[in-house]
């Protein structure tokens, strides 16, 4: 989102440059102020972000804050957000839903099943797109993510 918030900065300095004034949190920054900036950006652009997972209980906490993989999350879910997401979608006028994992991913079976439940309950005509994951665990470069997301978020630039 930081790229779309400040395209000029990244055009000038490149996507590998850290914007200390941007929407992405980096070590040493104030987490609350970054969150406020993210929240304001989403409100201004009409973006709502949620997670399919409500609560997890992992078998171990080692590495949970360091690229904790979706495959690990998939095995540790206690509660899903599925019903709440379906209710929200049905009560709002949305243009599209963007998912940050591929629909061909069969390594996260439980998450995929919950997403299928949501897709089955949606009104026809609602656009559902799968974006490349911004998660560090996905191992993608910022350039690759921006290139993919630009296809789906061009209207917010």
Q: What is the pLDDT along the chain (157 residues), one digit of tens a residue?
A: 899 899 999 999 998 899 989 998 888 999 999 999 999 999 998 888 889 999 988 887 766 666 667 778 888 899 999 999 988 888 888 878 888 865 556 678 898 899 888 888 776 667 788 888 887 667 788 888 888 888 888 766 6
Predicted confidence at residue 65, as pLDDT, reads: 64
The Cβ of residue 41 has, within 10 Å, a number of other Cβ atoms equal to: 18
**In the beta sheet, which residues pair with residue 127?**
96
In contact, 44 and 5? CB cutoff 8 Å: no
pTM above 0.85, yes or no: no
């Amino acid at each position: 989102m930081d790229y779309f918030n400040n395209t000029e900065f990244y055009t000038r300095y490149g996507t590998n440059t850290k914007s200390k004034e941007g929407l992405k949190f980096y070590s040493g920054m104030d987490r609350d102020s970054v969150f406020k900036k993210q929240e304001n950006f989403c409100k201004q652009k009409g973006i709502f972000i949620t997670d399919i997972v409500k609560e997890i209980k992992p078998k171990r906490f080692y590495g949970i804050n360091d690229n904790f993989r979706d495959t690990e999350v998939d095995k540790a879910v206690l509660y899903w957000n599925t019903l709440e997401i379906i209710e929200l979608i049905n009560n709002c006028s949305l243009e599209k839903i963007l998912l940050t994992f591929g629909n061909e991913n069969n390594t996260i079976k439980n998450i995929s099943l919950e997403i299928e439940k949501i897709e089955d309950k949606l009104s026809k005509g609602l656009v559902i797109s799968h974006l490349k994951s911004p998660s560090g665990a996905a191992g993608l470069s910022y350039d690759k993510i921006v290139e993919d997301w630009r296809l789906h978020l061009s209207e917010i630039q």
